[in-house]
Amino acid sequence: MSGFRRICLSAAVFVLSACVAMADKDKGISFSRLPEPAKEFLYDNFPDGQVSYVKQEDGFPELTYEVMLVNGLFVEFDRNGHWTKVEFRYGVLPRSLVPDEIRKYADRHWPDSQYRRIVRDKKYYMLKFKSGLELKFDRHFNFIGADE
pLDDT in tens, 11-41: 443 434 444 444 457 899 999 999 999 999 9
Predicted pLDDT at 32: 94
Predicted pLDDT at 68: 97
Element (DSSP H or E) covering residue 135: strand 134-138
Q: Where are the domains of the chain?
A: 25-90, 92-148
Domain spanning 25-90, CATH class: alpha beta
Quick one: CA torsion of 14, 16, 19, 20, rounded to 10 degrees? -110
The architecture of the domain spanning 92-148 is: 3-Layer(aba) Sandwich (3.40)
Task: Decide whether 25-90 matches 92-148 in CATH topology.
Answer: yes
Predicted pLDDT at 1: 59
| CA distances (Å), origin 114, targets 3, 97, 140 | 63, 12, 22
Q: State percent of the chain over pLDDT 70.
A: 84
pLDDT digits (tens, 9 = 90+) for 59-102: 877 899 999 999 999 999 999 999 999 999 888 999 999 999 99
Over range 119-148, report the average pLDDT: 94
Element (DSSP H or E) covering residue 37: helix 36-45
Predicted pLDDT at 21: 46
